[in-house]
Amino acid sequence: MLKPVLKKVLHLEDPVGSIKGIGPKKSEALRESGFETVFDLLRIYPNKYQDRRTAIEIKDLKADTQALIKVRLESIKSAYVRRGLTVISAVFYDRDGKINIKWFNKTYLLKQLKLHNEYWLYGNTVAFKNSLTISNPEIEPVSDNNTGTKDRLTAVYSSNASLSRAAISPLSLRKIIDGILDNTDLASSLPEELRNTTYSGIFKSFEEIHRPTTLEALNKAKHTIAFFDQVLFQMGVLKRRENLTGYLTLPDKNQYEPYESPYPLPFELTGAQKKALGEIIGDMLPEADKPPMNRLVQGDVGSGKTLVAFLAMLKFIFVLRPGAQCAFMAPTEILANQHLIAFKKFFPQFASKAVILTGSLKTKERRLINDLIETGAALVVFGTHALFQEQLKFNELGLCIIDEQQRFGVNHRRMLFNKGSDPHQLLLSATPIPRTLSLTIFGDMDTSIIDEMPPGRQPVKTYTAKSFDEVAPKVGEVLENGGQVYVVCPLIEASDERDWTSVEESAQRIAGHFPDKNIACLTGQQSWEEKDLIMHSFKSGEIDIVIATTVVEVGVDNPNATLIVIENADCFGLSQLHQLRGRVGRGSKQSECILISRQKSESERLKILVSTNDGFELSTEDLKMRGPGDLIGTRQSGLSHPCFSHKIPLKLIENARKRAFEILTKESDTIKNWFCAQMIKSFGGSYTTFMEGG
């Protein structure tokens, strides 16, 4: 049968309603889900392909394989087994074979399937009573495949909520997309200037990804589309950078010399610390037309980020911009206070210039400190959320440092930055993330990586145990040798809902084991003074065991604590466990981390933790298991971008970023505008939040 030659009547920017088979109801539902134009539908990518050129006959089926057969229906019947279970049994045949197929509850098939019509069946083969069957196969009428005369590599789409809302099944989506490709004039949908450039390959790729001609061409198309999507995302990232800093520049372009501390320190800085410092200080060098610093420092727990931040502050307030102030914001009062103490210890000569502002200050003290900040007498201001919530004015805020940045929302950071005029921004993160992800989600920032631990650190020995009683001897041994111990529990008090160990329970048990030791509990319920007192006593050695919730997760530093026991380790995330483990191993003594898990089989997560101490390696694994959303905390709004639907090699991202920069800075307005329009669309509803830094 000859296919009628159709006039190409559709354009990519036409509304979905102009597509055959999409009436007002469907198009309304699609629009509500963000699919407005013909092109939007082409951007729904198949999740797999069936190679219909390699369909086999029933007689050639093998057990336990994925099989595709082309068969006719001989008979079909249904049997009601019990409430909620109806079995549909059908017999199909081909040239010289027969096969029995069963489906559960798909009663609509009785109506849909027609005797002796031809169908594709696809699924896993299983042996059943001496013969082979395909279990619960996907089924599709052969006649529906109206795209060509030959069997081909056929796109299979997965269903999703938006499509279901519009009552479009994966099968009808294929038909719709076929219709689009048959009827759309792809070439003339591009601006004229783009048609004869390499960019015109984009649309050919969209045709190829939905209706592949060969596997090779399909792979090439996938690559092109992944690149296209990544270019769009990187354009967004560069725009966001421009929004934040006022300059359109490529991140990480400058090379700076490592920096040596001009102050005597109790130890030598690591190479990675010096390099990061060089980059940070380089960013802050006053030069005409230079954007303020917008840098993220990523370094594993214990890699020494705090000191790097201190040295950067001192250089800034004493050398680069004398008289300017610096704010150092941390997520908890314990941590903010610990930073102040460390600062005074390292730099006693500047102790008088440093203050701390936290929510728990008494009104009188707070007024005093506010004054010091407002007059500029305080140059280094440590603090918590109080730093931005206060009616606080800085005399001249020039540098904002945010510790454990993943703990703060964008708005928090912005509120602090807004207290200065274009202050430099330095974010510290103890969740190292794979470079591919860092280039995307943090792609608007310059990044320094501290990938070296201070010398003498021994990796924390990590292992699992089934109960606390099992590890009690170990705890005793550490205490006898003068060490201190953390015990972390998921709950504060026992709960009816979960049989996890609580801090209360654990404290009782431990008191039973070690009646002559000093034990303290640390939870978020306590007042700041209480927590502070406990941490101080722990650091000074008066307390032997701290039993805590995850409040000890960030930053707390006591090098004499050499053992951490984590109860119900299964209920914490991988990165979180790694952070908790980072509470020990902070000095030169061998430290240990024991993960208690009462589950019969050890979880993948715990196995990974046991196998490595490297935060980058862990986050790569975490990324594989949980996807990017959990890893990056607050910066989530861009994650629905189509670039995340592709597996992305690093090189591709780097090239895409360069191309994005070229498009924004070198291409003609027509080309730039076309790409910008595509870029905005590609972010869908999250564009505005993304641009604001969310």
Chain residues that interact with Mg ion, rule: CB under 5 A: 555
Our CA angle for 444, 307, 397, nearest 5°, is 60
Q: Which of residues 590-609 bind ligand ADP (CB under 6 A)?
A: none
Between 445 and 663, whose beta carbon lies closer to ligand ADP? 445
Q: To the nearest whole angstrom, how small is the minimum distance from the Cβ of residue 262 to Mg ion?
A: 23
Instruction: Examine residue 383 and tell whether it contacts ligand ADP (CB under 6 A).
Output: no
Q: Which two tokens stand for residue 198?
A: 């390499």
**Number of neighbouring beta carbons within 10 Å of residue 405:** 25
Of residues 170, 212, 292, 302, which one binds ligand ADP by CB under 6 A?
Answer: 302
* Cβ neighbours of residue 182 closer than 8 Å, sequence gap 6 or more: 6, 147
Q: Are strands 461-465 and 592-596 parallel, antiparallel or unpaired?
A: parallel
Concatenating the DSSP letter of every residue in 342-364 gives HHHHH-GGGGGGEEEE-TTS-HH
Q: Which two tokens stand for residue 158?
A: 């997965």
Of residues 267, 411, 477, 495, which one binds ligand ADP by CB under 6 A?
Answer: 267
Q: To the nearest whole angstrom, how small is the minimum distance from the Cβ of residue 577 to Mg ion?
A: 17
Instruction: Examine residue 558 and tell whether it contacts ligand ADP (CB under 6 A).
Output: no
Binder of residue 299, out of Mg ion, ligand ADP, none (CB less than 5 to 8 A by kind): ligand ADP
Instruction: Examine residue 261 and tell whether it contacts ligand ADP (CB under 6 A).
Output: no
Q: To the nearest whole angstrom, how small is the minimum distance from the Cβ of residue 557 to Mg ion?
A: 8
Helix (H) or strand (E) holding 228: helix 215-245
Amino acid at 635: R
Binder of residue 125, out of ligand ADP, Mg ion, none (CB less than 5 to 8 A by kind): none
Q: How many CA atoms lie within 13 A of 556 on its CB side?
A: 28
Handedness of CA 643, 644, 649, 650 (dihedral sign): positive
Burial class (CB within 10 angstroms; exposed 0-12, middle 13-18, buried 19+) of 106:
middle
Instruction: Examine residue 589 and tell whether it contacts ligand ADP (CB under 6 A).
Output: no
Nearest of 568, 566, 564, 565 to residue 598 by alpha carbon: 568
Q: To the nearest whole angstrom, how small is the minimum distance from the Cβ of residue 470 to ligand ADP?
A: 30
Between 293 and 430, whose beta carbon lies closer to ligand ADP? 430
Instruction: Examine residue 269 and tell whether it contacts ligand ADP (CB under 6 A).
Output: yes
Nearest of 203, 230, 43, 186 to residue 663 by alpha carbon: 230
Q: To the nearest whole angstrom, how small is the minimum distance from the Cβ of residue 192 to Mg ion?
A: 55
Stretch that binds ligand ADP, among 251-259, 262-270, 464-472, 520-528 (CB under 6 A): 262-270
Stretch that binds ligand ADP, among 33-41, 305-313, 590-598, 633-641 (CB under 6 A): 305-313
The radius of gyration of the chain from alpha carbons, rounded to an integer in Å, stands at 31
283 vs 296: CA distance, rounded Å: 12
DSSP annotation of 383 reads E
Q: Closest CB to Mg ion belongs to which residue? A: 555
Stretch that binds ligand ADP, among 196-204, 303-311, 489-497, 569-577 (CB under 6 A): 303-311
Instruction: Examine residue 263 and tell whether it contacts ligand ADP (CB under 6 A).
Output: no
Of residues 137, 212, 236, 304, which one binds ligand ADP by CB under 6 A?
Answer: 304
Q: Helices 650-665 and 669-682 meet at what angle, rounded to 10?
A: 130
Strand partners, 79: 87
Instruction: Examine residue 557 and tell whether it contacts ligand ADP (CB under 6 A).
Output: yes
Q: How far is CA 459 from CA 462, 478, 574, 653, in A?
A: 9, 17, 17, 33
Binder of residue 432, out of ligand ADP, Mg ion, none (CB less than 5 to 8 A by kind): none
Instruction: Examine residue 331 and tell whether it contacts ligand ADP (CB under 6 A).
Output: no
Instruction: Examine residue 174 and tell whether it contacts ligand ADP (CB under 6 A).
Output: no
Binder of residue 454, out of ligand ADP, Mg ion, none (CB less than 5 to 8 A by kind): ligand ADP
Instruction: Examine residue 546 and tell whether it contacts ligand ADP (CB under 6 A).
Output: no
Which residue blocks in 494-557 are alpha helix, DSSP H? Answer: 503-513, 528-539
Q: To the nearest whole angstrom, how small is the minimum distance from the Cβ of residue 251 to Mg ion?
A: 23
Between 173 and 308, whose beta carbon lies closer to Mg ion? 308
Q: Closest CB to ligand ADP belongs to which residue? A: 304
Separation of CA 413 from chain center: 19
Between 446 and 557, whose beta carbon lies closer to ligand ADP? 557
Between 455 and 512, whose beta carbon lies closer to ligand ADP? 455
644 vs 659: CA distance, rounded Å: 18
Between 330 and 546, whose beta carbon lies closer to ligand ADP? 330
User: 565, 580 in Cβ contact below 8 A?
Assistant: no
Of residues 292, 383, 420, 454, which one binds ligand ADP by CB under 6 A?
Answer: 454
Instruction: Examine residue 303 and tell whether it contacts ligand ADP (CB under 6 A).
Output: yes
Nearest of 223, 227, 246, 339 to residue 675 by alpha carbon: 227
Stretch that binds ligand ADP, among 129-137, 149-157, 295-303, 618-626 (CB under 6 A): 295-303
User: 182, 80 in Cβ contact below 8 A?
Assistant: no
DSSP annotation of 317 reads I
Strand partners, 49: 155
Instruction: Examine residue 299 and tell whether it contacts ligand ADP (CB under 6 A).
Output: yes
- Give the total of residues touching ligand ADP (CB under 6 A): 17
Instruction: Examine residue 613 and tell whether it contacts ligand ADP (CB under 6 A).
Output: no
Q: How many CA atoms lie within 13 A of 578 on its CB side?
A: 28
Between 292 and 299, whose beta carbon lies closer to ligand ADP? 299
Concatenating the DSSP letter of every residue in 238-292 gives HHHHHHHHS----TT---------SS--SSPPPHHHHHHHHHHHHHHS--TT-PP
Q: How far is CA 12 from CA 118, 621, 654, in A?
A: 34, 39, 29
Of residues 244, 307, 314, 399, which one binds ligand ADP by CB under 6 A?
Answer: 307
Q: To the nearest whole angstrom, how small is the minimum distance from the Cβ of residue 219 to Mg ion?
A: 44
Q: Which two tokens stand for residue 356?
A: 């701390």
Nearest of 460, 482, 493 to residue 565 by alpha carbon: 460
Q: Are strands 85-94 and 66-82 parallel, antiparallel or unpaired?
A: antiparallel
Q: Which of residues 417-436 bind ligand ADP (CB under 6 A)?
A: 430
Instruction: Examine residue 274 and tell whether it contacts ligand ADP (CB under 6 A).
Output: no
485 vs 582: CA distance, rounded Å: 13
Q: How many residues does the chain have?
A: 694
Binder of residue 282, out of ligand ADP, Mg ion, none (CB less than 5 to 8 A by kind): none
Q: Which of residues 498-537 bind ligand ADP (CB under 6 A)?
A: none
Between 73 and 566, whose beta carbon lies closer to ligand ADP? 566
Of residues 30, 42, 276, 301, which one binds ligand ADP by CB under 6 A?
Answer: 301
Q: To the nearest whole angstrom, how small is the minimum distance from the Cβ of residue 355 to ligand ADP?
A: 20
Instruction: Examine residue 578 and tell whether it contacts ligand ADP (CB under 6 A).
Output: no
**Number of neighbouring beta carbons within 10 Å of residue 424:** 25
Between 102 and 344, whose beta carbon lies closer to ligand ADP? 344
Instruction: Examine residue 402 and tell whether it contacts ligand ADP (CB under 6 A).
Output: no
Binder of residue 302, out of Mg ion, ligand ADP, none (CB less than 5 to 8 A by kind): ligand ADP
What are φ and ψ of residue 447, in 5° steps? -125, 135
| Contact set with ligand ADP (CB under 6 A) | 267, 269-270, 273, 299, 301-307, 430, 454, 557, 559, 586
